[in-house]
Homo-oligomer: A and B are copies of this chain.
Amino acid sequence: MTVPKVTAEDYIEILAFYARQIHLMDALKIEEYADTFTDDGVIDHAHRNERLAGREAMLAAMRAALPRYRDVVPRHWFDHYLIEPFAEGDGWRVVYYCLVSRTDAQGKVDFEPSFTVEDELVRLADGEIRTRLRVIHMDRPAS
């Protein structure tokens, strides 16, 4: 393959970035979570045709969703990262699996449908990684 390969150092940094981002999201620290996106970052819920462009739109949508997480603890589980450096510019296209568990006050666990997520990550001038684009596809059977 002639696809440029991600270095081991960048791969680990990307895993560490996701760990930090997802701990913030699942802890409902929505301001800090929003800070892990670029200022013009976009979250595109492809399956429900909802496109959140920019920090304020993201925060409004997350604030509206908070009541859904009053009685359950969400945990986003990721796996199988496909990471491809941009041909130009400092960043990566990342595709991965996502499964969301919800633990309620009695300790009962259930799951949201699995998702496949496509991200564009960029490295800013200060060396930090941010998400510039997140497209979320709900997994649906072919039939």
Q: Are A80 and B82 in contact (CB under 8 A)?
A: no
Q: Which residues of B contact A11 (CB under 8 A)?
A: 8, 12, 15-16
A73-B140, A141-B71 given; A23·B105 CB < 8 A = no
Q: Oligomeric state, in number of copies? A: 3
Q: Is the interface of A mostly helix, strand, loop or mixed?
A: mixed
Q: Is A139 an interface residue (CB 8 A)?
A: yes
Q: Which residues of B contact A104 (CB under 8 A)?
A: 141
CA A77 to CA B14, docked complex, whole Å = 19
User: Interface digits, A10-50 against B, CB 8 Å rule (1 contact, 0 not)?
Assistant: 01110110111011000010000000000000000000000
CA A22 to CA B9, docked complex, whole Å = 23
Q: Are A99 and B75 in contact (CB under 8 A)?
A: yes
Q: Is A81 an interface residue (CB 8 A)?
A: yes
Q: Which residues of B contact A95 (CB under 8 A)?
A: 23
Q: Are A141 and B18 in contact (CB under 8 A)?
A: no
CA A114 to CA B74, docked complex, whole Å = 9
Q: Are A78 and B78 in contact (CB under 8 A)?
A: no
Q: Which of A65-115 contact B (CB under 8 A)?
A: 69-73, 75, 77-83, 95-97, 99, 101, 103-105, 107-114
Q: Are A78 and B75 in contact (CB under 8 A)?
A: no
Q: Are A77 and B99 in contact (CB under 8 A)?
A: yes
